[in-house]
């Protein structure tokens, strides 16, 4: 069947306009997310000032105490802990896969990393709960194995695939001549990797770490399941706060959204926490993107 | 210091670090398969949860998750594909394109629970909808959108420029070229990306917590406006949220089922990718 030319022309113009619209749709969504988080934060902010929420130490929603400082500490502790574990291992694995391992080993390692990345966070949380929590409790001889440390270890495994794959991309992007020049001047393979390739891939590696941080801050189910959900301020004598139960920003939303009374201040404060999370991850990802952009140039 | 020695030490450290990733993954697979296998039976997979999840099976959560991800991909794929076509075929290297890329990076980085909050805000509070499959899949669609766009754009870009030039030189319009030359050649890559999006959607819990997933239902959902049970949420309910009354074998069985669904999709994506890479003529 022959479609008249004019109809085809109209259809084509329509499709191209639709494509242009869809091209910009992600921008619209980012703005919408921010606008709606703010829109439903306002009812809470009218009752409790933002400053009071951010620096308040007590979180007792039943008594209208909405301080999230202890919860921010919780997010910070688990994220920092996760990054301390995940960065050295992640970058080392990326170097091994990208620069050292033989082809066959590389082709078996990559799927392993992909499997790790694919495991749903609720399954990681479940494994942490059943396997790691008892170990932490018995080995460190503490009251409960649900601690910031447990959360940090599980989060490290969730941040690692991101760090490995982005770092490896960055290493891969280093021109082959750099390596050849270094080897030709008599450097060993390791000297070449450590003094030439890694420095050249620096900003990509930094970006991978930032994206790992973003992943760790935003992770919800895993930390909800293994960190014990206590909103008390961390006590430094408990292994810098790592050896006690705590709760993250994400877990607070997940744990309380269902039980908060509809349209109460408590309910809307959870949107404030969401907005805080959104701003933090936006900044982290923005910086990661800047670092990545620098590599490309 | 001896240069050879330091290289040996460094490479050993790298190898040991790799073990820190490989061994846990193998252990996890071993535990989930060996323990989950014991609870696997046709009746476990085909009966509804009973007595608050303490007995019965997981048919409701399995079906719920399958319906959910089907709807999610139905919503996200058209949007993601068109957006990728724009970025790959139409976008010029200007500020607008740069901002789109930034938006994609940020969408990919928004915590999953924040998507859940956004879903509550826009669909439940603002549009006054009820928690349902539809609301949950719209929320999830947003979450997997960046995955789909990035995957599809990469596939479209891998089609050689010469194909486009040849088509245009024969007098085809830009849209005809995209529709008949670029898209068919990018199809395997697009399928791969879509399956990975499906895999991601089936494992997510946080975005559906308040937008439609429920802990227990006596029946299957009748329409897209019904709430539903989902595998990840079910695993959370019978492990962390309930007070240790659920037999452990049921928890492992649920974990194995969820992981099987997710990894099957990832393997399928890998097979599609490998298969077509071999057949690729360019």
Q: Give the integer Cα–Cα distance in Å for B157 and B273.
A: 15
Does some domain include residue B14? no
The total number of structural domains that make up chain B: 1
Does some domain include residue B187? yes
Looking at the fold, whether A185 and A283 belong to one and the same domain comes out as yes
A189/B7 Cβ within 8 A:
yes
* B204 contact residues in A (CB cutoff 8 A): 120-121
What pLDDT, in 10s, does the model give residues A274-294? 999 999 999 999 999 888 877
Checking if the pLDDT of B244 tops 70, the result is no
Query: CA nearest B96 in A: which residue?
Result: A24
What pLDDT, in 10s, does the model give residues A106-143? 999 999 999 999 999 999 999 999 999 999 889 888 88
* B112 contact residues in A (CB cutoff 8 A): 121, 218, 220
Facing B103 at nearest CB: one of A27, A188, A277: A27
The strand pairing partners of B228, in sequence order, are B213
Query: CA nearest A259 in B: which residue?
Result: B210
For position B140, which CATH number holds? Answer: 1.10.3720.10
Looking at the fold, whether A27 and A116 belong to one and the same domain comes out as no
End-to-end CA gap in chain B? 49
Looking at the fold, whether A93 and A160 belong to one and the same domain comes out as yes
Facing B113 at nearest CB: one of A111, A125, A250: A250
For B223, residues 6+ apart whose C-beta sits below 8 A from its C-beta are none
Q: Give the integer Cα–Cα distance in Å for A36 and A218.
A: 18
The strand pairing partners of B49, in sequence order, are B56
Give chain A's mean pLDDT: 90
Sequential DSSP letters for A47-101: HS-HHHHHH---EEGGGTEE--HHHHHHHHHHHHHHHHHHHHHHHHHHHIIIIIS
Checking if the pLDDT of B134 tops 70, the result is yes
Looking at the fold, whether A14 and A102 belong to one and the same domain comes out as no
% of chain A at pLDDT higher than 90:
68
Q: Give the integer Cα–Cα distance in Å for B178 and A147.
A: 54
Looking at the fold, whether A171 and A199 belong to one and the same domain comes out as yes
B108/A285 Cβ within 8 A:
yes
pLDDT tier at B282, thresholds 50, 70, 90: low
Looking at the fold, whether A103 and A26 belong to one and the same domain comes out as no
pLDDT tier at B276, thresholds 50, 70, 90: confident
Number of helices followed by number of strands (H, E) in chain A? 16, 2
For B70, residues 6+ apart whose C-beta sits below 8 A from its C-beta are none
A274/B251 Cβ within 8 A:
no
Looking at the fold, whether A28 and A58 belong to one and the same domain comes out as no
B122/A32 Cβ within 8 A:
yes
- The whole-model pTM stands at 0.92
What pLDDT, in 10s, does the model give residues B161-197? 999 999 999 989 889 999 999 999 999 999 999 999 9
Looking at the fold, whether A136 and A14 belong to one and the same domain comes out as no
> How many Å separate Cα B248 from the centre of its chain?
27
E strands of chain A, at which residues? 59-60, 65-66
Give chain B's mean pLDDT: 91
% of chain B at pLDDT higher than 90:
71
pLDDT tier at A2, thresholds 50, 70, 90: low
For position A129, which CATH number holds? Answer: 1.10.3720.10
The total number of structural domains that make up chain A: 2
- What does the pLDDT read at residue B274? 86
Domain containing B100 equals 42-279
* B contact residues 97-116, partner A, Cβ 8 Å cutoff: 99-116
What pLDDT, in 10s, does the model give residues A189-226? 999 999 999 999 999 999 999 999 999 999 999 999 99
Decide the pairing of beta strands B55-56 and B49-50: antiparallel
Query: CA nearest A262 in B: which residue?
Result: B125
CA angle (A69, A73, A77) in 5-degree steps: 175
> Residue B36 is encoded by which pair of tokens?
């989950």
> Residue B98 is encoded by which pair of tokens?
């740069």
Does some domain include residue B54? yes
Which residue has better confidence, A297 or A93?
A93
- What does the pLDDT read at residue A296? 53
* B79 contact residues in A (CB cutoff 8 A): 22, 25
pLDDT tier at A233, thresholds 50, 70, 90: confident
- Report the pLDDT averaged over residues B228-248: 86
> Residue B257 is encoded by which pair of tokens?
């089922």
Domain containing A21 equals 5-36
E strands of A144-185, at which residues? none
Could you give the count of Cα atoms lying within 13 Å of A167 in the half-sphere of its Cβ?
A: 31
B205/A122 Cβ within 8 A:
yes
What pLDDT, in 10s, does the model give residues B188-215? 999 999 999 999 999 999 999 999 988 8
A30/B107 Cβ within 8 A:
yes
Looking at the fold, whether A24 and A161 belong to one and the same domain comes out as no
What pLDDT, in 10s, does the model give residues A133-182? 999 889 888 888 899 999 999 999 999 999 999 999 999 999 999 999 99
> Residue A218 is encoded by which pair of tokens?
């935003």
Facing A20 at nearest CB: one of B86, B120, B239: B86
- What does the pLDDT read at residue A145? 84
Looking at the fold, whether A128 and A205 belong to one and the same domain comes out as yes
CA distances from B134 to B88, B124, B224 (A): 30, 11, 5
Looking at the fold, whether A27 and A119 belong to one and the same domain comes out as no
| Pair A205, A167: CB distance under 8 Å | yes
Which residue has better confidence, B258 or A62?
B258
Looking at the fold, whether A100 and A144 belong to one and the same domain comes out as yes
């Amino acid at each position: 069947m022959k479609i008249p030319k004019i109809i085809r022309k109209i259809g084509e113009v329509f499709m191209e306009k639709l494509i242009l619209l869809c091209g910009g749709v992600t921008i619209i969504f980012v703005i919408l997310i921010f606008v709606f988080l703010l829109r439903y934060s306002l009812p809470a902010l009218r009752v409790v000032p933002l400053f009071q929420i951010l620096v308040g130490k007590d979180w007792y929603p039943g008594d209208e105490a909405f301080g999230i400082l202890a919860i921010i500490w919780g997010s910070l502790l688990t994220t920092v802990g996760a990054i301390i574990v995940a960065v050295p291992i992640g970058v080392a694995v990326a170097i091994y896969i990208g620069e050292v391992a033989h082809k066959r080993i590389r082709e078996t390692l990559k799927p392993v990393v992909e499997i790790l990345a694919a495991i749903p966070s609720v399954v990681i949380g479940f494994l942490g709960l059943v396997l790691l929590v008892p170990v932490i409790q018995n080995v460190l001889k503490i009251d409960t194995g649900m601690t910031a440390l447990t959360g940090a270890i599980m989060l490290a495994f969730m941040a690692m695939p991101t760090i490995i794959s982005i770092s490896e991309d960055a290493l891969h992007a280093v021109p082959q001549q750099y390596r050849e020049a270094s080897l030709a001047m008599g450097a060993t393979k390791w000297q070449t990797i450590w003094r030439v390739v890694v420095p050249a891939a620096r900003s990509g590696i930094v970006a991978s770490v930032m994206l790992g941080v973003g992943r760790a801050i935003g992770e919800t189910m895993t930390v909800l399941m293994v960190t014990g959900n206590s909103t008390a301020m961390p006590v430094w004598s408990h292994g810098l706060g790592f050896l006690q139960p705590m709760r993250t920003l994400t877990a607070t939303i997940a744990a309380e959204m269902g039980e908060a009374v509809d349209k109460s201040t408590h309910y809307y404060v959870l949107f404030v926490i969401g907005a805080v999370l959104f701003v933090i991850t936006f900044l982290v990802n923005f910086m990661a993107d800047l670092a990545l952009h620098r590599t490309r140039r | 210091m001896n240069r050879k020695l330091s290289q040996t030490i460094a490479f050993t450290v790298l190898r040991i670090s790799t073990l820190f990733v490989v061994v846990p993954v193998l252990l996890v697979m071993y535990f989930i398969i060996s323990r989950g296998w014991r609870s696997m039976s046709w009746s476990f997979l085909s009966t509804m949860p009973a007595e608050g999840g303490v007995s019965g099976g997981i048919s409701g959560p399995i079906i719920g998750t399958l319906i959910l991800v089907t709807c999610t991909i139905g919503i996200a794929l058209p949007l993601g594909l068109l957006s990728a076509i724009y970025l790959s075929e139409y976008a010029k290297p200007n500020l607008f394109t740069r901002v789109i890329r930034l938006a994609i990076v940020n969408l990919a980085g928004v915590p999953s629970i924040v998507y859940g909050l956004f879903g509550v805000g826009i669909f439940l509070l603002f549009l006054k909808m009820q928690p349902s499959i539809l609301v949950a899949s719209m929320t999830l669609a947003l979450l997997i959108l960046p995955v789909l766009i990035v995957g599809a754009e990469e596939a479209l870009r891998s089609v050689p420029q010469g194909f486009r030039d040849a088509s245009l030189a024969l007098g085809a319009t830009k849209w005809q070229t995209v529709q008949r030359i670029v898209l068919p050649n990018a199809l395997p890559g697009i399928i791969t990306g879509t399956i990975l999006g499906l895999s991601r959607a089936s494992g997510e819990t946080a975005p559906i917590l308040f937008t439609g997933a429920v802990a227990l239902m006596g029946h299957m959902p009748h329409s897209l406006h019904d709430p539903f049970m989902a595998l990840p949420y079910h695993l959370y309910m019978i492990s962390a949220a309930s007070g240790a009354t659920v037999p452990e074998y049921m928890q492992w069985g649920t974990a194995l089922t969820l992981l099987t669904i997710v990894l099957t999709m990832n393997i399928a994506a890998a097979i599609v990718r490998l298969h077509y890479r071999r057949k690729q003529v360019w």
